[in-house]
Structure 1
Amino acid sequence: MARPRVRLVVTADDFGYCPRRDEGIVEAFLAGAVTSVSLLVNGAAAESAAELARRHRIPTGLHANLSEGRPVGPARHGASSLLGPEGFFLGKMGFREAVAAGEVVLPQVRRCGFRKMLVVRGELEAQLSRFRELLGRDPTHVDGHQHVHVLPGVCQVFAEALQACGVRFTRLPMERGVGGCAWLEAPARAFACAVEQDARAAMGPFARHGLRSVPPTAYPCPLRPAAVPLMPRHLQVDRCLRGPEHLRPAHVRSPRVRGTG
């Protein structure tokens, strides 16, 4: 029986973080190894990255950021539960701890049985607006920097904001078996497992608001959605080769991807 055709989508996030990183992402796109990007609109190089995306016609989504750098919305004008004393977001773990402690809220309103985090909604809407200013259109998709979009409570507000602006696609970071990845250090494995648990809980809110993503069981062949940690300290060839063992060239049918290995 013929193997089903698979379209491999490779999204480079953190576009707009810094010029050197952006240059590498564009090079990968032009080589056919990357198919889309996710833009950090509060990144130091957001404007130049947007120009690169326009120039090279790169499919571009929003990399919603609630954990790193400075906000672009109303929070930047004063005290906010999203920010530390210096006016920066609380960080990867700091934001998670604040959400878990119920601190990332303005006066709460109840609607349909959930608590709406107004300060989060305001920042998400501001980032969507900034994206439109930079690109002149809506994002093709929206995902979350450091997976903030699947956190409890945040996922509901995230889904509402995307539905309101007509965005239909996001990412559910559900890598099956990540807990058994010996090539990841223990803290990274624990974080990945927590993210997967949050992502499973976010499936309901996302579906109710019409958001689509690639389900982890979509493929009968060994190819399945995966993310390989490629932050600077993980950028070793042997680590990258050991990680995605289930990704095999024989399963890739996209002409943009073939021949790029």
Structure 2
Amino acid sequence: MGFRTALSKGLLNMSEVKQELKAQVELFHKLTGHLPPHMDGHQHIHVLPEVRHVFAEVLEEYGIKYTRVPIEPGLHNCEWIPPSLMDFYLGVEEDSFNTVDVFTRHGIRWPDIYIGLSTMGKNMSVSNIWSAIDAAIVEFTSKAPSPAHLMPQSRTVTIELMVHPGYPSVPSLGGCGEGPDDFSQSWERLHELQTLIKPELQSHYKTRNIQLCSFKDL
């Protein structure tokens, strides 16, 4: 039974979820010697009802400043995404909108722009990444203050590009609790890796004055 199903059936105890979250943070600290600068949930479960509250409490308790809020500009216009997958994405989007106030109250931050649902797996290409970035920036700037109250020129716009580069997992090894899922075992992870290291993509970043960084750099 998946996490979402268990939650919908009322089978999860949020105190136990919180205990598990804290245990994972503690293990990360033990293994690396420092706390994570960023934390989110597999398949965006951190924005689910009930979970979002204990998740935010744990991040605030440990001083973890950043998370992910998967609201992607232009998602509704992505006709290449299969209907069943789009339904899942739109559910994630709705949960994310309902999570914003919770995270804000706990002092948790996230990048200005999130991209990744429309460019995931086989849909990742240099052109798709740039189309997603361009569309997101247009939407972001359209919501910016009026010209009389523009942000300083030094204002940096942050964008999270969600990616899953790597190699196909071997059945029974890896994964999150029940072994690797279909995506983890597919060629699509390798496809993402090969796309992300293409010289033309790196050249685009340089031309557009985009600096790659991690959450600890923010």
TM-score class, shorter-chain normalisation, is 0.5 to 0.7
For residues 78-227 of structure 1, the aligned pairs below 5 Å read 90=1, 94-105=2-13, 117-215=14-112, 224-227=113-116
1:103 partner letter? L
1:254, distance to aligned residue in structure 2 (A): 3.1
Distance 1:199 1:157 in 2: 15
Whole-Å Cα distance in 1 between the matches of residues 117 and 67 of structure 2?
18
Aligned partners of 1:237, 1:135: CA distance in 2, in Å? 31
Q: CA deviation at 1:138?
A: 0.5
SS at the partner of 2:40? strand
Give, in whole Å, the separation in 2 of the partners of 1:213 and 1:135. 23
Q: Is the 8 Å Cα contact of residues 72 and 117 (structure 2) preserved in structure 1?
A: no
Distance 1:100 1:252, change over 3 A: farther
Code of the aligned partner of 2:8: A
Q: One-letter code of the match for 1:100?
A: S
Aligned mates of 2:26, 2:52 — CA distance in 1: 19
CA distance in structure 2 between the aligned counterparts of 1:98 and 1:244, rounded to whole angstroms? 38
User: Which amino acid in 2 is paired with 1:184?
Assistant: I
Q: Provide the residue aligned with 1:114 in structure 2.
A: none
Matched residue, 2:131: 245
* Gap runs ≥5 in structure 1: 1-89, 106-116, 216-223
Q: 1:101 to 1:244 in 2, by over 3 A?
A: farther
Counterpart contact for 1:179–1:192, Cα < 8 Å = no
Instruction: Provide the rounded CA distance (Å) in 2 between the counterparts of 1:229 and 1:128.
Output: 30
Q: Alpha carbons of 1:97 and 1:139: their partners in 2 closer, same or farther (altered >3 Å)? A: same
Go from structure 1 to structure 2 and tell me whether the alpha carbon gap of 1:182 and 1:135 turns closer, same or farther (over 3 Å shift): same
RMSD: 2.4
CA–CA separation in structure 1 for the residues paired with 2:130 and 2:9: 35
What are the Cα deviations for residues 215-260 of structure 1, in whole angstroms up to 9, with x where unaligned? 4xxxxxxxx43114666xx33666x644652325488423559xxx
1:235 maps to 122
Residue deviations 1:54-102 (CA, integer Å, cap 9, x gap): xxxxxxxxxxxxxxxxxxxxxxxxxxxxxxxxxxxx4xxx211221222
Distance apart, 1:192 and its partner CA: 0.7
CA shift digits 1:80-138 (9 cap, x unpaired): xxxxxxxxxx4xxx211221222111xxxxxxxxxxx1110011001001100111100
Corresponding residue SS for 2:81 = coil
In terms of fraction of residues, the more strand-rich structure is 1
Aligned positions, number: 143
Report the Cα offset of residue 171 of structure 1: 0.9
Displacement after TM superposition at 1:149 (Å): 0.4
Q: TM-score, normalised by structure 2?
A: 0.58
Q: 1:237 to 1:214 in 2, by over 3 A?
A: closer
Report the 3-state secondary structure (helix = DSSP H, G, I; strand = E; otherwise coil) of the residue aligned with 1:159. Answer: helix
Structure 2 residue identity aligned to 1:254: I
- SS, match of residue 197 in structure 1: helix
Using the aligned pairs only, state the percent identity.
Answer: 34
- 5+ long unaligned stretches in structure 2: 135-203, 214-218
